[in-house]
Each structure stands twice: as C-alpha cells, then as structure tokens.
Structure 1
Amino acid sequence: MPIPPHNRRASGAAAAALGAAGLIVLAAAPAAFGDGTAPELVVGGIEPIHGLKPGGTFDLPVTVANKGGTAEKVWVSYSVTRGLDFMDVPSNCRVQHIRSYDEMPENWTATCAFDQAVEPGVVYTPERPLRVKALDRAYHDRLRVEAGDGGAPMDDENGEPSVAGTAPAVKLVGKQAGDEGSANRVDVSITSVNTADYQVTGAALRGRVGDTVTMKVKFANSGPAWLLEDEVDQDVQIVITPPAGTSVVKRDYYCHAEGGKYRCPPHLGPYMAEDAQMAYTFKLKIDKRIAGGAKGAIALTPQLRPFDHNKANDKADITLDVTGGGSNGSTGGSTSGSNGSTDGSTSGSKGSTDGSTDGSAGGSSSTGDDGRTSNGGNLAETGSSALPIMGAAAAAVVTGAGTLLIARRHRARNLS
C-alpha cells in the first residue's frame, strides 16, 4: 500500500500541541496522583507563666504535630523579649539578638533545625526541652513559638549574626497524642514579680535679669525592671512648670504648652529600658526678680502605676536664683534683638547654670533638643525677624545706589 505524503508542518504542530499537553499533565500530576497534601505543622504545649522571680528558670515543653503530608525536615523557633534569656542551647539551634524596629521590642530568637521526617498523625517533642531564665530586669515579657517545614529560616536582617548553641544536639521524639495545638505560631505572656521606679530630676538656675538661661530637667526609669509598651500607661505625662518671673524663649521639641505649664511624654518607643532616661531642655528668659525667690517644678501625673512603689521622687523643684540688678532688670544680660529670639543668645551675660549637666547660657546646643524651633503656645517662642529683614533691606538700598552711580559714570564717559 502506498504511503501517503508526510506533512511535516502539520505533524510538527501536532507534536508541539501534544508536548504542551504532556507538560500540563506532568505539572498537575503531583497534585492529582501523589499524596497531594503539603505539610501543615502546628505547635502546642505552651501556656502563659506568671509569678516568676528574677533569676528563676522554666522549661518549654513544646509539641509539634503535622496535620498535612509528610515533612522531610522541620524547624522550631523560640522568641523571647529582653527580660528573658535562653540557657543550655543545643548545637542544632542558632541564637540571634534582634534590635528593636518597627514598633517591635528588642528580642532574642533560638531557631532549632531537625533533619528528620515528621509524619502526619504523630505528636513530637524535643527530647530535652529548651530552658529559659528570667533576668533581673524581667517584669512582663512575651514568648513566641512557631514551627515550619523545610530548612530553617534566614537570620533577621535587623539583628546580629546568629550563633550556634554549645549544648549537645537534640532530636524530636514521638509522644502520646495530646497538646498537639491548632496553629503554627503561639504567643503567650511570661510575667515576673518585680518593680520599676519612675523618677524626675529638677534643676537649679542662676542668672541676672535679662539673661536667657538653659533649663534642663530629666525623667528616668531607674529599674530594676524594664517595661513593655503594654505596661506603660500612655496617660502618664511629665508636667513642667517654669519658675515665676521667666518666659519661655524656646521649649523642648517634645513638650507642648498647656495653661502656663508644659506636658511631655515619658518615653518615645515600644518599650522603656530599665536605665532609660529623657532630658527636656528649655530656654528661659529671666524677666524679673521675685521677692523671696522663684520656684517651678517637674512632676509625674498621678495615674496608678502598680510597678512603681516609690512616690517620693515623682516630683522635684526647679529653683531660680536671680543675681545682681533690680526687679526691673539689668542691661548687662539682656537678650540681643528681641525677647523672642529662639537661638537663646545673650549679650554681656555673666553665664548661668541649670543645676544638672551643661549650665550654659544661651547660644549653646543642649541634650534633648533636636535643633528645631517649635511653638508651644508662648508668644516669646515665636522669635523675631525684624533685625534680619531691616539688614537685608539696608543691603538692597546700598547695592541699588552703587549700581545707579556706576551707570551714571558709564554714560558720562560715552557722552564725552
């Protein structure tokens, strides 16, 4: 029988179509014909712990179960905030210190890799639980445990390089069903019996009438406990009352005026360390002498703080000693230009001290001030631009007159 002519173009198209169809079938084959289920790991056995004492330890009896297909290898990660620390970390685990970022507190993670299969329907647990210690700064901490299949995740880019543990490696072992959990990540609270002491520090100011002086006052948490943002009462504020006879030339950037006083936040982050402190810096102009001496104050608002048992240091004085001159002022220490100059510079000032750290008289930068000038509701804070504008105008007049004179001389030469 004669063989019909062979159409190569048609055959090529048919082969390509069959090849594409074959690829589609092969791609779909694992889902259609394999076990078809991805691993689904869940953790359990983790409960909140309360009433620890600093220095105490506890174990983490975590369980790992698989509600999906077989996982060839898995990892378990533990994360604790800065009041806790890991002890006797196995060599198949890596510990990383992660700095605070994106409103997340500083924490430590220990990620343990297990190069072994985890079958569905079986509950596993590390053959030796990870041990955690409560540090002297512990108060209210968080613990997170999560699990995943495959290789261990990469280090967090916001942290330091991870390091391997030094204790003998551990593996996962099967246990009786129970505590298998229902999610791949669990967060719990770990609390310790501890205290933290909020305190404020005042200042002793000294200067002549007309001087601009620096007032620096402070707020601090003297520990021993650190505080998560959850524990910090957001209504607690620092209230600063400048001494009578002064006007505020420049307020601290973070403080705002309220009826002759200034309210400032106690902290500016997701947590308050056990040694955290903030300085609030103001520039004050001494307007007059007050008979008997002038006094202001820095104080905490009276919200309940169950961790703070010491109330004696919740308020401090700000004193002002006016030297020389009379109640109507003296010429030697007056502020150059206008009362509202925000740079705090002075002419002929004999200097002043704030009783805390820098004790400088106007014109110097100071801790706690970001260099920006902001209004806090006091007219003196608005500053004065009259002298710079008058100077610029005078310069413009001189320049214009010089230009006109040159033009006239040039015209005279051309006419001659």
Structure 2
Amino acid sequence: MNIRSAVAAFGDAGLLALGAAPAAFGDEAAPDLVVGGIEPIDGVKPGSNFDLPVTVANQGTGAAEKVWVSYSVTRGLDFAEVPSNCRTQQVPSYDEMPERWIAVCAFDQAAEPGVVYTPEKPLRVKALDRALNDELRVRVGDFDPGADENGTPPVAGTAPAVELVEGQAGGEGSAPFVDVPVTSDNTADYQVTGAALKGSVGDKVTMKVKFTNAGPAWVMTKEGGRLVQVLVTPPAGTSVVKPHGFCEAEGDAYACGTSQRSVNEGGQETYTFELKIDKKVPGAKGSVALSAEARPFDPNKANDKADITLDVTAGGPTGSTNGSDGSDGSAGGSSSPGDDGRTENGGNLAATGSSATPAITGAAAAAVVTGAGTLLIVRRRRAGSLS
C-alpha cells in the first residue's frame, strides 16, 4: 500500500469511528435532576422565619451518585439555620446583580431515576427588617457548583446535617433551577432634597440635589421594570452648563436615573449640575421631584418634591418681557432718562441714534475708503501709460 492509500484508509477509519461515537455516548445512562415544590411566597413579616420545602427528581436514565442543592436569596433575606452539610457565602453586588446570600448543600447519597426526593428538614430562611420584594433561586445538580469567586470565603453550617428522603410524586419541576419571588409586608420612603443657590448674574454655580431611600426596606426593581426617575427643573433665569451624567434633558427639566436597579435602605444618589445665572428673575424657583409612576410601598408623598431656590445677589440686568439679557452678547434693557448713551449703561447707540458721533465716524470712514479707491485707480492709469 502506498502512502496515499494508507492516508485514505486511515481517514475512512477515522470517519467511521467518529460516526460511531455519538451512538455509543447516546446509549450511556445519565441522570437528569430537576427541582420543584416551591410556590411564590407572599405576606412575610420582617423578622419572621419561613421554610423552603423543595423536591428533587431524577428524570434521567441513570442514577446520580451525589446531589447538590443550592439556595440563593437577595439581601432582604438570610438563612436562619444552616445544616453542617451546607456551606454559606455572602456575595456583594456586581454585574447588575444585587447582593445575595448563597447556601450550597451536599447530599452524599444516590438519586435513582424516576424517584422524587426532599430534604428531611427544609432549609429555614429569615426575613430581615429591610425585606420587601426579594428573590429566591433554588438549583440542583449532580456536581459541586463551587464558590462564587466574588464572595466571602464559604462557611460550614452548625445545625445537624440533613439527608434526602423519598417523597411522594407530584409537584416536581421540569428544570434544574427555579426562581421564586418573596414579598414582605414592609415600606420604603423615597424622598428628594432640593438646593439653595446664590450668586450674581454671569456667575457659574454648582447645584446639588439628592434622591434618598430612607427605608426601612431596600427596593429591588425586577429586570425590565420601570426604575424611579428624578426630575430636576433648574430655576428660571439660569442655563445648564453641564448636567449630571445620569440625566437627560426633557423639555425644561432633566430626567435623572439611578446607578443600580436596586436602592438600598439609606442609599442615595446626588445629582450635580453646573448652572450659569443669566438674569435675575424675581421669585424664580426650580424643583426636584420623583417621577409619577405608582409606588405602593411608599405611602409618604409629602417629601416627593422639593424646591430649588435662587438668590441673585448683585450685578447684571434683571429679567424683562422681551427676554433680552445680554448673556449672548446683545445689549439688554433700555436707556433711562438722563442716560448718556454709553454702553455700560445699556444704551445701543447704533439702534437709537442718541448721539451724532457714530454718524460722523461712519462718514469719515466712507471718505477714507473712497479716497483709497481713487488713489488706486490713478496709480493703475499711470502704470498703464508707462507700459
């Protein structure tokens, strides 16, 4: 056999082997673990405990030699009792995910196909004082999921270890994980704080307004849900030189967002604007206010809006009905009786003709231009005659 034939034969054999491989792997029995048995939890009282009854079913064709059940709860919840065959870890907020607690329980026992199991004692969870709208995720697998590298070092539980026991069929899930909402009877007070500005016409001033969640609950907006907005309206007579980075212009106001989709109790956002005082408008007043969407968790509406005041101390013209204030380089106001027409008094000599000096100056300039033109023509004629 020559080299080309040998290579061809090896290639055919390789293709045959690759073609046979999937069939061989497909015949191998494998476990398929799913979790269920948990319904949405509503009406929890902050400070109280509740149990998490879960079921684990093996819908595969082979046994799982070992089972891991993972529980994850957002920061309004915590684990009240943790068995010694479980480890817990606190994970801070990152990548748009809120802060949470994770408990991973290892069960050193087989899960047979077609059998439903449940922990002999359900994991107990505590609702903290900040609980409101939280989330619970339960996941099952036949391998150790490991620790979250962004979290604290895992700590083993201290309560007696638990095992999986066979349960009754029915209620088992169809996926390896399930997300469950947990709602607590609690409130949060969203509020805003205004500002008191002071300066002279032409000054640039810094305006800082605040949005605060005074608690006691933290608030997590579900993905896709509408986040709270803070509407900032600067006082009349000012213009925005530089808005805050989270804010976008909407008519005369600015709509400002939050840095995260969750707002912790005591958490706040400060919105900083740079304004220019263009003119003095007596009684000018701006505002900072929460957007108008429903917030059933926040019954106190008295602090949803606050004033932004402006005290123009001195200098520059006051506002007028024609809106001319000199901020764009045009003259503002009008000359009063006794004005001498000087620009520092607001006079516009070219427009009003209050002095003959500009006319004389203009005539002289015209004469100079005309004379220069005549001289140029004469020179050209002389040059022509010499050529």
The TM-score normalised by the length of structure 2 is 0.73
Residues 321-336 of structure 1: matches in 2 within 5 Å?
321-325=311-315, 327=317
In structure 2, the partner of 1:268 is: 259
Measured in 1, the distance between the counterparts of 2:120 and 2:164 equals 6
In structure 1, the partner of 2:147 is: 155
Residues 112-191 of structure 1: matches in 2 within 5 Å?
112-150=105-143, 152-191=144-183
Residues 8-87 of structure 1: matches in 2 within 5 Å?
36-68=28-60, 69-87=62-80
In structure 1, the partner of 2:323 is: none
In structure 2, the partner of 1:280 is: 271
Alpha-carbon displacement from aligned partner over 1:368-409 (angstroms, at most 9, x marks no partner): xxxxxxxxxxxxxxxxxxxxxxxxxxxxxxxxxxxxxxxxxx
Is 1:198 aligned with 2:190? Answer: yes
Alpha-carbon displacement from aligned partner over 1:131-190 (angstroms, at most 9, x marks no partner): 00111111111111111113x111122322222112121111223333333222111111
Measured in 2, the distance between the counterparts of 1:303 and 1:28 equals 55
Q: Which amino acid aligns with 1:143?
A: L
Measured in 2, the distance between the counterparts of 1:230 and 1:20 equals 52
Q: Which amino acid aligns with 1:110?
A: A
The change in CA–CA distance for 1:288 and 1:66 in structure 2 (over 3 A counts) is same
In structure 1, the partner of 2:289 is: 299
Alpha-carbon displacement from aligned partner over 1:180-225 (angstroms, at most 9, x marks no partner): 3322211111111111111110011122232211110111121222
Unaligned 5+ residue runs, structure 2? 1-9, 320-326, 330-387
Secondary structure at 1:71 match in 2: coil
Measured in 2, the distance between the counterparts of 1:134 and 1:32 equals 46
Q: CA deviation at 1:39?
A: 0.8
Residues 216-231 of structure 1: matches in 2 within 5 Å?
216-230=208-222
Measured in 2, the distance between the counterparts of 1:196 and 1:232 equals 21
Measured in 2, the distance between the counterparts of 1:238 and 1:316 equals 11
Measured in 1, the distance between the counterparts of 2:285 and 2:26 equals 83
1:92 aligned residue (85, 89, 95): 85
In structure 2, the partner of 1:310 is: 300
Alpha-carbon displacement from aligned partner over 1:208-260 (angstroms, at most 9, x marks no partner): 23221111011112122222222996274322121222222222122222332
Q: CA deviation at 1:100?
A: 2.4
Alpha-carbon displacement from aligned partner over 1:274-319 (angstroms, at most 9, x marks no partner): 222111111122233333x432111123222111101100110111
Measured in 2, the distance between the counterparts of 1:310 and 1:39 equals 53
Secondary structure at 1:77 match in 2: strand
Contact persistence 2:281–2:318 (CA under 8 A):
no
The change in CA–CA distance for 1:317 and 1:37 in structure 2 (over 3 A counts) is same
Contact persistence 2:35–2:54 (CA under 8 A):
yes
Measured in 1, the distance between the counterparts of 2:230 and 2:26 equals 66
Measured in 2, the distance between the counterparts of 1:95 and 1:78 equals 9
The change in CA–CA distance for 1:32 and 1:255 in structure 2 (over 3 A counts) is closer
The change in CA–CA distance for 1:271 and 1:232 in structure 2 (over 3 A counts) is farther
Q: CA deviation at 1:105?
A: 2.1
Q: Give the alignment's Cα RMSD to 1 decimal.
A: 3.2
In structure 2, the partner of 1:376 is: none
In structure 2, the partner of 1:370 is: none
Contact persistence 1:242–1:296 (CA under 8 A):
yes
In structure 1, the partner of 2:239 is: 247
In structure 1, the partner of 2:340 is: none
Q: Which amino acid aligns with 1:271?
A: S
Please say which structure displays the higher CA radius of gyration: 2
Q: Quick check: 282-291 or 195-204, which moved more?
A: 282-291
Alpha-carbon displacement from aligned partner over 1:73-113 (angstroms, at most 9, x marks no partner): 11111111111111111111111222223332222111101
Q: Which amino acid aligns with 2:52?
A: L
Contact persistence 2:91–2:99 (CA under 8 A):
yes
Measured in 1, the distance between the counterparts of 2:316 and 2:21 equals 94
Contact persistence 1:249–1:339 (CA under 8 A):
no
Measured in 2, the distance between the counterparts of 1:223 and 1:339 equals 46
2:98 aligned residue (105, 109, 128): 105
Q: Quick check: 248-257 or 130-139, which moved more?
A: 248-257
The change in CA–CA distance for 1:30 and 1:246 in structure 2 (over 3 A counts) is closer
Contact persistence 1:233–1:305 (CA under 8 A):
no
Unaligned 5+ residue runs, structure 1? 1-15, 330-337, 341-416
In structure 2, the partner of 1:210 is: 202
Contact persistence 2:280–2:317 (CA under 8 A):
yes
Contact persistence 2:227–2:261 (CA under 8 A):
no
Measured in 2, the distance between the counterparts of 1:27 and 1:296 equals 73
The change in CA–CA distance for 1:177 and 1:102 in structure 2 (over 3 A counts) is same
In structure 2, the partner of 1:407 is: none
Q: Quick check: 93-102 or 104-113, which moved more?
A: 93-102
